[in-house]
A and B are shown apart, each in its own frame.
Chain A
Amino acid sequence: MFERFTRDARAVVLGAVDHAERLDAETVEEQHMLLALLDREASRASFALTSLGLGGRRESVERALAEARRRGGLSRADTDALSGLGIDVAAIVSRVEEAHGEGALETPGGDGKSEGRGGGKGGGRSRGWWSGFLGGRPSFAQGAKDLLTESLRIALAQQDRHIGDEHLLLALTARPGVPAEVLADHGVTYASLRRVLYGGGEAKAG
């Protein structure tokens, strides 16, 4: 699949690994892809983000992502659903932080779904105590893998021969979760992206 990625798209994938390492995450997640997308300059995605007014608001996006990490990676839709059950996530976060320190719920490993994936010993979550010796880099969480698949699907549907960083960005907004929510809060949705990227089109997400 990677041979179809443009230079910018590859840079996003590699950049996401760097962001995951910088944030000490055990796996590369969709939020790291978003951060890497924001690093791009003069690419299709950066053009689209700039047209939608995200240019100078990078810090605001980073803050929102950090906030979600602090809630254990739960999206607002998640916390709303839980509050429907009478569970106050903010209260839980603050109690846990009182007892265990700020950022205690921040996920090493993020979505908790990486456990046991990747198959075989050392696959998936391979950042054990020995990883320092092996120079192991974080592997891709399932959500990030699905994102790559989704970007391929979007590129094919668009009859584009290559997967560019704009397809990765579109895929992020097409999938439920923290990155899509944060982007939507900044005016970047699947529909608004399609408008600036392809003009007009009344395309539906999903």
Chain B
Amino acid sequence: MKLIPIIFFACAGCSFAASAQKDFQKKYQSQLILAEPGAVIELPEGTFTLTNTLSLEGKKKITIRGKGMDKTILSFKGQTDGAEGIRISDGSDILLEGFTVQDAKGDAIKAMHVTGIRFHEVKAEWTGVPGPANGGYGLYPVQCQGVVIDKCSSIGASDAGIYVGQSQDIVVKHSTAFHNVAGIEIENSLRAEVFENEAYENAGGVLVFDLPDLVLKKGGQVKVHHNKIHDNNYVNFAPKGNIVASVPSGTGLLILASKEVEIYENDILNNQSVSTGIISYFTTGKTIKDQAYDPFPSAISIHDNRYERKPGLPVGGDPLGLMVGKKFGGNTPHILYDGIKNPSLLDASGNWIAGQCIAIVNNKNQSIVNLDAANNFKNMALVEEGFNCNK
């Protein structure tokens, strides 16, 4: 007889919890739908469970503000609907501040077609051991104009933690990324400045990529400086098929087919396979069908960085790492260049025309290997000359 009220209360508790969740979702989703310009959506302190994407659409001048990165936590662990935690589309002057998005089924926070999107003290996180079932991107502005990511954090993304794609005028600063496949990635984007961040214990620390078959094809004018990029030797747990799945574990910084990239005054430490790589799209082994795509890196300057690595073979077992390890043993050079140059940027004697060269100068512990990728890596060798832009 006494069991009956207990069961009753237990069930009442369950349904109350479920309906409280639904109410939270509806309450904040409604606020986001009805928000007028200038509105501040205040998220309370606590951990809240959501089952569907929270979306903001077609809005101007909206702030979504929690009580702090570790105080307001939106958990999507039981998410049943929607492909991202928070989705922001077609807006302007949007500020996200002071909260964490946890365990989204897809991307944590995606912003598309927003002019003026700021992330301030926002964390995207997948809890537990990082694995391929985690969502792809943590903070994910794409086709946005005017992006600021400041004092943010991303942990556990199965693609890139902080990922800016097909966007323009970007600042990523004072942020932290670890246990992602890629820590910070700037892809097919124009005018990005990435500084004073810490990217560590990812498979790859910082990536600057230009990929084919996209709407915004040509990125460039990217500066990466005063970052701490270290110990990016985490296993690459990306699902196959994605471009980051081919980033070797042990990569500090990788430039793929990008133009006008300046890398300076970074600490690039203990990234055991590729401290820094400069490669063309050909070296990925993927075919190119996009006629308008330029697969070559050019106008790259890498200077005044500090390189260190621990003695020992490259980590991970990536084919490139294995090959370099076989050639150089435990003393892998810091900077790997695939040697494939855009022929249209060379003069008659095979030198870079003005302004298009690849400069690698004045780095502490600088060592460069030309992979000779064009000849199936046959004449892979250390090189000292040819990276000072004919000076």
A associates with B? no
Which residues of A are interface residues toward B (Cβ below 8 A)? none
